[in-house]
């Protein structure tokens, strides 16, 4: 059993990379990938801690990219999370150059979001307040902004609970929210082309969240089929089918659709520590996630 989708406090998780390794050992996993959003700053600690206990460790990143080939019904660009595995830590590589660029854009987006919230009455909020509340400043995102909103303005959004956090995304920060700011991310194709031949393997994260505009289980396969059919030619080898927050029957259907498209069904829990209540590392939300070891062997073979 393995887990190929996990966040640390170097992005919007709450646990250190070392602690994630401990949790993986406790869960009897044979391999773990650290996939923080848009940065690799936690990888050194992760690789060291994993080597100490003999856990197989894969360096990954969860990239926020755009997919202009499948625009949203309202015409806006589609934002898609793509997992990158076996990434290079070389700062001068095309991969790290692009990711650095993306972090600059992320910061500009965060500042604009906060400015819009201040104008909407969140007057105690400012960029430094968000930074100081984060465990680390490496890859701040909307989850950190939501945390600061609940702490500084409980009279507007309620105190820190899972329900209030979700309402903040629905009303304010989510793609339908009042202050939503689109990022200028590279497209999937730009990214895979720029890093072709580098041994990095890409897999589309939680495809049901990225590519579907309604969540009707009946249409899962028909909604995703056109997307899956394009991925191989665009340099993407996998699709996250064993996703820890999907029910087992839906996971099984996604695995089949992914295999039918000639792609590798990857998987993971999307663990964020206390920032996603109820998700267990390796075992997901319902506790019955099992990502087979062979998936990692297939990813290695795809390098």
Binding mask 211-230 for Zn ion (x = CB under 5 A): --------------------
In this structure, the number of other CB atoms found within 10 A of the CB of residue 260 comes to 12
Q: Which of 13, 60, 141, 265 binds ligand AMP (CB under 6 A)?
A: 141
Binding mask 150-169 for ligand AMP (x = CB under 6 A): ----------------x--x
Specify the residue, 81 or 251, whose C-beta has the smaller distance to Fe ion. Answer: 81
Which partner in Zn ion, Fe ion, ligand AMP, none is near 169 (CB below 5 to 8 A by kind)? ligand AMP
Binding mask 81-120 for Fe ion (x = CB under 5 A): x---------------------------------------
- What are the CA-CA distances from residue 230 to residues 17, 100, 137, 153, 294 (Å)? 34, 27, 36, 44, 24
Residue 142 within binding range of ligand AMP, rule CB under 6 A: yes
Q: Which residues contact 107 (CB under 8 A, 6 or more apart)?
A: 140
Q: Which of 40, 35, 95 is nearest to 243 (CA)?
A: 35
Which partner in ligand AMP, Zn ion, Fe ion, none is near 36 (CB below 5 to 8 A by kind)? none
Name the DSSP class of 298. H
Angle separating helix axes 94-119 and 142-152, nearest 10 degrees: 30
Residue 143 within binding range of ligand AMP, rule CB under 6 A: yes
> Of the listed pieces 10-18, 160-168, 253-261, 276-284, which binds Zn ion according to CB under 5 A?
10-18
Name the DSSP class of 280. B
């Amino acid at each position: 059993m393995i887990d190929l989708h996990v966040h640390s406090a170097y992005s919007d998780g709450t646990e250190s990379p070392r602690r994630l390794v401990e949790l993986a050992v406790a869960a009897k996993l044979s391999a773990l990938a650290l996939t923080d959003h848009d940065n690799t700053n936690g990888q050194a600690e992760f690789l060291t801690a994993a080597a100490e206990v003999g856990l197989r460790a894969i360096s990954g990143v969860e990239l926020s990219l755009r997919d202009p080939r499948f625009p949203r019904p309202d015409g806006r660009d589609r934002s898609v999370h793509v997992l990158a595995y076996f990434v290079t830590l070389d700062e001068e590589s095309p991969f790290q150059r692009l990711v650095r660029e993306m972090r600059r854009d992320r910061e500009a987006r965060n500042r604009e979001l906060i400015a819009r919230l201040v104008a909407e009455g969140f007057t105690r909020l400012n960029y430094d307040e968000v930074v100081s509340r984060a465990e680390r400043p490496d890859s701040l995102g909307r989850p950190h902004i939501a945390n600061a909103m609940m702490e500084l303005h409980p009279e507007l959004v309620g105190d820190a609970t899972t329900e209030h956090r979700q309402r903040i995304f629905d009303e304010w920060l989510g793609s339908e929210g009042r202050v939503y700011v689109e990022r200028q991310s590279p497209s999937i194709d730009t990214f895979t082309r720029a890093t072709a031949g580098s041994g990095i393997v890409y897999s589309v994260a939680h495809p049901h969240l990225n590519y579907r505009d309604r969540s009707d289980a009946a249409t899962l396969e028909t909604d995703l089929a056109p997307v899956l059919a394009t991925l191989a030619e665009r340099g993407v080898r996998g699709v996250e089918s064993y996703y820890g927050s999907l029910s087992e029957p839906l996971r099984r259907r996604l695995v089949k659709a992914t295999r039918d498209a000639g792609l590798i069904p990857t998987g993971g829990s999307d663990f964020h520590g206390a920032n996603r209540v109820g998700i267990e590392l390796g075992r997901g939300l319902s506790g019955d996630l099992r990502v087979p070891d062979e998936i990692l062997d297939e990813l290695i073979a795809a390098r």
